[in-house]
């Protein structure tokens, strides 16, 4: 087994979106990610437009953080400028949350293949994120899609599928096997813990421990798959992506119930321990 784990922070996840309070300057948030010891910072084009994102490029050289880009293309060709930006920030691949969403799997197949064609032309690999409200919205259709398009690789954010399927714990064997098929096709992983009813919960609350354990088991399995096929010197990216409200749960005082900065650091510690155990 080979490869290195690199844990990234999400710029979107550093937003507070707290009414009446301005966001911290982007430069300050890049500096904080560096100072907390993250290996990189991810830009999410679902949270900002392309022109704004282009203005962030100098922060990568300034901080030494690695780059990563998530794109939300609404057409085949809309992916291309995102791939250009990915090159500018040194993103090793682009995570695609495809906004072209045919109802039938037969309609999804040519869309995925066209995005793969564009990525090949631009020489930037792409991974399709397992994400609601996208071409991979549903676990079952995504399983059919990866069977139909063997070259399709995934970025596993299983929080979307856990809340979508509403499973009881422990998972039934058939559903667990379906998650395993997703993990086997995943080349990167995203850090968020869901329950059967909520897409994002605090990892530091004791009542959520059974769900955290489920996700740690997912990531352990995903890391094992990744390590068996990794080239020497390659990096496995784990993206801490604990989103602001409405992903983050708030109380009657409109304040978040948990500290996402601490939650993300806990996740990082947990996955780094898993990685060491399977090296």
Residue 246: CA atoms inside 13 Å, Cβ hemisphere, count?
1
Domain residues for the domain of 20 are 4-277
Q: Which three-class secondary structure state does DSSP give residue 153?
A: coil
Structural domains of the chain, count: 1
Long-range contacts of 259-268 (CB under 8 A, 24+ apart): 260/13, 261/36, 262/204, 263/202, 263/203, 263/204, 264/9, 264/13, 264/191, 264/240, 265/36, 266/203, 266/204, 267/191, 267/193, 267/203, 267/240, 267/242, 268/7, 268/38, 268/191, 268/238, 268/240
What DSSP string describes 162-219?
HHHH-PPSSPPHHHHHHHHHHHHTEEEEEE----SS-S---TTSGGGHHHHHHHHHHH
Rounded to two decimals, the pTM is 0.97
Q: Is 18 exposed, middle or buried (0-12, 13-18, 19+ CB in 10 A)?
A: middle
What is the domain-level CATH number for residue 47? 3.20.20.150
Per-residue pLDDT of the chain (279 residues; tens, 9 = 90+): 568 999 999 999 999 999 889 999 999 999 999 999 999 999 999 999 999 999 999 999 999 999 999 999 999 999 999 999 999 999 999 999 999 999 999 999 999 999 999 999 999 999 999 999 999 999 999 999 999 999 999 999 999 999 999 999 999 999 999 999 999 999 999 999 999 999 999 999 999 999 999 999 999 999 999 999 998 889 999 999 999 999 999 999 999 999 999 999 999 999 999 999 996
Q: Which two tokens stand for residue 172?
A: 């039934």
């Amino acid at each position: 087994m080979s490869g290195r784990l690199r844990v990234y922070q999400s710029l979107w996840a550093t937003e507070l979106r707290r009414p009446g309070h301005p966001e911290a300057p982007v430069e300050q948030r890049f500096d904080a990610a560096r100072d907390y010891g993250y290996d990189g910072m991810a830009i999410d084009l679902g949270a900002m437009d392309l022109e704004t994102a282009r203005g962030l490029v100098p922060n990568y050289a300034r901080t030494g953080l690695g780059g990563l880009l998530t794109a939300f293309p609404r057409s085949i060709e809309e992916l291309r400028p995102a791939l250009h930006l990915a090159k500018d920030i040194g993103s090793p691949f682009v995570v695609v949350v495809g906004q072209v969403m045919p109802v039938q799997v037969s309609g999804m197949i040519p869309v995925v293949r066209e995005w793969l064609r564009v990525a090949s032309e631009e020489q930037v690999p792409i991974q399709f994120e397992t994400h609601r409200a996208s071409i991979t919205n549903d676990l079952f259709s995504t399983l059919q899609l990866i069977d139909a398009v063997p070259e399709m690789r995934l970025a596993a954010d299983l929080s979307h599928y856990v809340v979508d399927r509403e499973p009881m714990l422990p998972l039934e064997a058939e559903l667990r096997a379906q998650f395993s098929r997703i993990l086997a096709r995943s080349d990167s992983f995203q850090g968020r813990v869901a329950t059967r009813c909520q897409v994002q919960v605090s990892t530091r609350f004791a009542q959520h421990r059974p769900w955290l354990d489920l996700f740690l088991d997912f990531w352990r399995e995903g890391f094992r798959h990744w390590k068996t096929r990794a080239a020497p010197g390659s990096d496995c990216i784990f993206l801490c992506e604990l989103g602001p409200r409405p992903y983050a749960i708030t109380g009657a005082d409109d304040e978040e119930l948990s500290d996402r900065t601490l939650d993300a650091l806990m996740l990082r510690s947990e996955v780094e321990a898993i990685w060491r155990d399977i090296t």
